[in-house]
């Protein structure tokens, strides 16, 4: 798949019961329009919305299991 000039392809790894791991640095736009940045090499994004540091994962999914 070709990319636009000047844009790098980022690898995203979906984990079974945890966060999405994205090769950084990244800028994330949340559902309320807020933009947050991370310059880390690997960024863990929360998919369960239980993180106290949302949209970043703080491993809260390990302490509180879904009841669904």
Q: Where are the domains of the chain?
A: 12-63
Please report, for residues 24, 29, 46, 49, the alpha-carbon distance to residue 56 in angstroms, rounded to integers and kept in the order given: 13, 12, 5, 9
**Encoded tokens for 51:** 């993180």
On whether the CB atoms of residues 20 and 44 are closer than 8 A, the answer is yes
Within 10 angstroms of residue 28's Cβ, the number of other Cβ atoms is 14
Per-residue pLDDT tens over the stretch 3-61: 566 677 889 999 988 899 999 999 999 999 999 999 999 999 999 888 999 999 998 88
On whether the CB atoms of residues 50 and 68 are closer than 8 A, the answer is no
User: What local confidence, expressed as pLDDT, does residue 33 receive?
Assistant: 96
User: What local confidence, expressed as pLDDT, does residue 35 receive?
Assistant: 96
Residue with tokens 């947050």: 36
Is pLDDT of 65 > 80?
no
User: What local confidence, expressed as pLDDT, does residue 8 receive?
Assistant: 77
Is pLDDT of 66 > 70?
no
């Amino acid at each position: 798949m070709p990319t636009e000039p000047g844009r790098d392809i980022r690898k995203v790894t979906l984990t079974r019961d945890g966060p999405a791991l994205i090769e950084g640095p990244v800028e994330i736009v949340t559902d309320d329009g807020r933009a947050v940045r991370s310059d880390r090499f690997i960024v863990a994004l929360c998919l369960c919305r239980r993180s106290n540091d949302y949209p970043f994962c703080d491993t809260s999914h390990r302490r509180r299991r879904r009841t669904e």
